[in-house]
Structure 1
Amino acid sequence: MKEINLLVGGPKRDWPVDFEHILATTKDEIWVGADLGAVELVKHGIKPALAVGDFDTATKEQLDMVLANSQQSVVDPLKDDITDTEMALRYSIASFSFNQINVYGATGARLDQFLANLFLVLKPEFKEHAPKIVLKDRYNEVRFYLPGKHCITKVAEMKYLAFVPLTKVQALAIKDAKYTLEPTNFNVPNSLSSNEFVSSNVNFSFDSGVVAVIQSKD
């Protein structure tokens, strides 16, 4: 599986516990930095394959450092009314082939920014790529699914499992979990939270809409 990694400028306190190790051991992999995420990558000795953003919160010294150490950079103060994360995804999709993009730093602190990152998969330009996008932080892993039958595997350190219809969803069914669900329609976004694995895999399906699946821990 070809993966790329995207670091967004969210709080460092919400990075995965082992993120410093991840950064140290993946310097030769494809990293993309969005705004202050690019600054952090360079500080950790990574030369981003792509640095993107308006860099409105970066100092001149930080921006100069990013520009000098990135293989490709896009600085756009206007951004066409999209977020730095969306801009980074747009250029990543155009620049690289990948099976999965791991997005770090996209949660925590400001709820408006978190919701923008959660709902971006509903936009037409990203929707077809939704199954390739994974949000990861200290407590959660979020994956996105389009209609069909799916099997998910338990992430070792996670305890809880949630199914979150982000749109109107038809015939959502959950099997093999602690709490199963017969085919059910959801007309508004909902969070079926605090479910759990009873084995290493859970199967689910739905006929229309977009569903986020969150594995989490306290």
Structure 2
Amino acid sequence: MKYARAFVFLNGEINHPEKLLAMLNAEVYLVAVDGGLRHLLALNMKPHILIGDLDSVHPAELKWAQEQGIPIVQLPVKKDETDLEAALQHIIELGILDIVLLAAIGNRIDHTLANIFILTKPDFNKHSIRIWDGNQEISVITESMDIFGNKGDLLSLLPLSERVLGVTTEGLEYPLEHEALYVWNARGVSNVMSSHHANVTVLEGNLLCIHFKSMNGQEKENLL
């Protein structure tokens, strides 16, 4: 079966799981990364594959996965890549271009930052990879990105490289026109969408885009 999208379950926290359930369908490929298996169990769903060194999976959960016949790719504990990198490589090899990371934000700031920074990996530039966390969506812009939401949504643009050049926006209350943003300056924080659609273009650098989605009647249509 050809899957249109992959959901990758990590071991952080999931906010608003009811919204997540509304997005799941037969065309979504479900990947449990190590301890992220617990979220699928809580949602009463079976992953297509479990990937990781299995150091954070509860023994009872691992036994359940084995009994269910779920394919398990066990990675060595000592390795140069993270479990998430291995999972993303697996998904890309399947030809899936649209990838959503879930439970990528948690109490470990180092893990959270690593999950964000992985979005900048050059190998992933041709894929749409983003973090979804209930009411916020996190992605990296290296060229151009269309953003869909609601009027009044907050949008923060933060450089991940020392500087990001040629930043131009459309559909935002505080427009930027071929501007330079620097990592030590908070100029891009808390912009506001002036309509349901915005566009951000970058000429050079990696720009982190954090979209805080408002709660209204159109929310279900614009979850991702």
TM range (shorter): 0.7 to 0.9
Aligned to 1:166: 160
| Match runs of 1:177-192 below 5 Å | 177-188=172-183, 191=186, 192=188
| Match runs of 1:7-46 below 5 Å | 7-11=9-13, 14-19=14-19, 21-22=21-22, 25-26=24-25, 29-46=28-45
Cα distance 1:139–1:190, how it changes in 2: closer, same or farther (>3 A)?
Answer: farther
Partner Cα separation in structure 1 for residue 142 and residue 80 of structure 2 = 26
Q: Percent identity?
A: 25
Q: Is the 8 A contact 2:151 2:196 kept in 1?
A: no
Q: Tell me the CA shift for residue 124 of structure 1.
A: 3.7
1:137-196 CA distances to partner (integer Å, 9 max, x unpaired)? 12311122222x433211x59821111221132111223211011212235365511111
Q: Is the 8 A contact 1:176 1:197 kept in 2?
A: yes
Cα distance 1:67–1:203, how it changes in 2: closer, same or farther (>3 A)?
Answer: same
Look up the equivalent residue of 1:153 and give its one-letter code: F
Aligned to 2:117: 119
Cα distance 1:82–1:19, how it changes in 2: closer, same or farther (>3 A)?
Answer: farther
Q: Tell me the CA shift for residue 4 of structure 1.
A: 1.3
Aligned to 2:6: 4
Aligned to 1:201: 197
User: Unaligned stretches of 5+ in structure 2?
Assistant: 215-224
2:120 is the counterpart of 1:137: no
Cα distance 1:50–1:30, how it changes in 2: closer, same or farther (>3 A)?
Answer: same
Q: Is the 8 A contact 1:52 1:88 kept in 2?
A: yes
Aligned to 2:221: none
Using the size of structure 2 for normalisation, the TM-score is 0.81
Q: Is the 8 A contact 2:151 2:195 kept in 1?
A: no
Q: Is the 8 A contact 1:49 1:70 kept in 2?
A: no
Q: Tell me the CA shift for residue 27 of structure 1.
A: 6.0
Partner Cα separation in structure 1 for residue 78 and residue 49 of structure 2 = 16
Q: Is the 8 A contact 1:173 1:205 kept in 2?
A: yes
User: Unaligned stretches of 5+ in structure 1?
Assistant: none
Q: Is the 8 A contact 1:151 1:204 kept in 2?
A: yes
Q: Is the 8 A contact 1:158 1:216 kept in 2?
A: no
Look up the equivalent residue of 1:62 and give its one-letter code: E
Aligned to 1:105: 103
Runs of 4+ in 1 over 6 A off after TM superposition: none
How many residue pairs are counted as aligned between the two chains? 210
Deviates more, 1:42-51 or 1:171-180: 42-51
Cα distance 1:44–1:206, how it changes in 2: closer, same or farther (>3 A)?
Answer: closer
From 203, 208, 211, the equivalent of 2:207 is 211
Partner Cα separation in structure 1 for residue 6 and residue 136 of structure 2 = 19
Look up the equivalent residue of 1:8 and give its one-letter code: L
